[in-house]
Amino acid sequence: MPNLKELRQAVSDLKTEGRKKFAELNALRAKASRTDADDADIAKLDGEINALEAKVAEAQAAVEAEEKRLDRERSFAPLGNEATEGRGRSAAGDFSSNEPNPALTYGFHDMAEFAMAVKQATPGGGNMVSVDQRLVGAGPTNVQTANGTDDGFMVPPMFRDGIWELVFDMEDIPSWVDDEPTSAREVKLLADESTPWGAGGIEVRWRSEGTQMTGSKAPPAAPRSVPLEPLYAFVTADEDLLEDAPRLANRLTNKAAIAINWKIGDSIIYGDGVQKPLGWMKSPAKIAVAKKAGQAAKTIVVENVLDMYTRLLTQPGDSPFWMANRDIVPQLVVMQIGVTPMWTPPVAGLKEAPGGFLLGLPIRWSEHAESLGTEGDLQLLSPKGYYMPKKASGIRFDTSIHLYFDYGLQAFRWTFRLGGQPHLSKPVQPAKGDTSKSHFVTLATRA
């Protein structure tokens, strides 16, 4: 029988597939003129989306049923004297498990209970005599390996999986790039910057009858080091919060995940590569399209969009899109080529705006994008062109998520490792012409 993590992963996978289907559907519907084949594909995709909706509903029902079952089982768990002995600890001083699957939770009921145990076990955080033995490997079912060092205590698998899934399941930058889990602190990016039309060492020839084949040798890809740098987050916790388990659990999961997601996304875009990822805005692989002669400050004109579109290189299998600041909306909605608008509203109409399509590619509004007139206010991206190795939790991968109580600042601290940089080290040349292309195209500042 699948466990709760596997059931949640099934829901996440189905939703990811659904988003891809919707992207394909919207791209077809946005075409100015559709063929019969396009209409057939639209009907097929619509049916597949309907089927996925049913599967998502079924999978979510399975998650809810398993959660309900676990809650019922927990309701019969023994309770200790929390006021004097500590939650889950008997009067004799031993700590018992009140979780039916201690291999995944180390015997803790929830994130709040684990956090309070970490606080008590940290110098200055509580009474060191009352260290919860579930933190130090006292029981045979406890697979805890971390201790109270600077690394903190390893978060139980079920709880850290929940945090990691929240961070990377959000519709934002970290979930769109080419991510890869690893247990290493540094990986070698075997960058293959050759193109099918470039001199990458692989030659394809027509074989004339009766002639010998001429071999070609592919040169080894040039390795680039991608270090996984430590990232941390402080979660402030006053006495009122420490006494409110539901709020504490929410602050240590949902709120922390939102903040972590934002910081990772911003670093993927703007990181300078110094003890942090190298963002595409600071990478030599980025192309910044120049403004037009005489163009007014804080404007975007038709020619800017067309110039950017011609410079995009799409990573195979990717779904490119425009990322923009909402400040550009007044510029966007009035753009026309002749009498044809460049911006196409969402299929359901303006009630779903902002969004829509620009030259057939979807627009994603983002607070990461710069304000109107500054480079980065409009970006054209093939996000899979960015490589992001991360220390990730999961059945087959190690994790470096720890929880540590910083008693000087009265805060819990998450720490983990992540790195990243674009696959390309520079723009590539096209098969025809001399205008270079990249996975990341911006519009230069119009001051």
Per domain, the residue ranges of the chain are 4-74, 155-191+219-447
How confident is residue 141, by pLDDT bands cut at 50, 70 and 90? very low
- Give per-residue pLDDT as tens, 149-184: 445 677 777 777 777 777 777 778 888 898 887 777
How confident is residue 267, by pLDDT bands cut at 50, 70 and 90? very high
What is the per-residue pLDDT for 227? Answer: 82
- Name the nearest CA neighbour of 289 among 407, 147, 435, 130: 435
- Is the pLDDT score of 199 beyond 50? no
How confident is residue 313, by pLDDT bands cut at 50, 70 and 90? very high
How far is 332 from 343, CA to CA, in rounded Å? 7
How confident is residue 437, by pLDDT bands cut at 50, 70 and 90? very high
How confident is residue 369, by pLDDT bands cut at 50, 70 and 90? very high
- Is the pLDDT score of 376 beyond 90? yes
Which residue has tokens 């089982």? 73
Tell me the DSSP string of 334-360.
T-EETTEESEE--TT-GGG-S--EETT
pLDDT, greater one: 114 or 311: 311
Where does residue 433 fall: left (phi above 0), alpha (psi -120 to 50 degrees), or beta otherwise? Answer: left
What is the per-residue pLDDT for 73? Answer: 67
How confident is residue 382, by pLDDT bands cut at 50, 70 and 90? very high
Tokens representing 125?
């955080």
Highest average pLDDT, of 51-65, 252-266, 365-379, comes from 365-379
Q: Which of 208-212, 224-228, 378-382 has the lowest mean pLDDT?
A: 208-212
- Name the nearest CA neighbour of 298 among 107, 419, 445, 95: 445
How confident is residue 290, by pLDDT bands cut at 50, 70 and 90? very high
What is the per-residue pLDDT for 324? Answer: 95
- Is the pLDDT score of 81 beyond 50? no
How far is 131 from 143, CA to CA, in rounded Å? 17
- Which distant-in-sequence residues (6+ apart) come within 8 Å of 197 by Cβ? 430, 431
What does the mean pLDDT of the chain come to?
Answer: 76
How confident is residue 339, by pLDDT bands cut at 50, 70 and 90? confident
- Name the nearest CA neighbour of 401 among 388, 410, 412, 409: 412
The answer to whether 264 and 256 have CB atoms below 8 angstroms apart is no
How confident is residue 282, by pLDDT bands cut at 50, 70 and 90? very high
Tell me the DSSP string of 225-237.
EEE-EEEEEEEE-
Amino acid letter for position 166: L
Which residue has tokens 């979660």? 235
How far is 146 from 148, CA to CA, in rounded Å? 7
What is the per-residue pLDDT for 1? Answer: 64
Q: Which of 54-63, 160-169, 257-266 has the lowest mean pLDDT?
A: 160-169
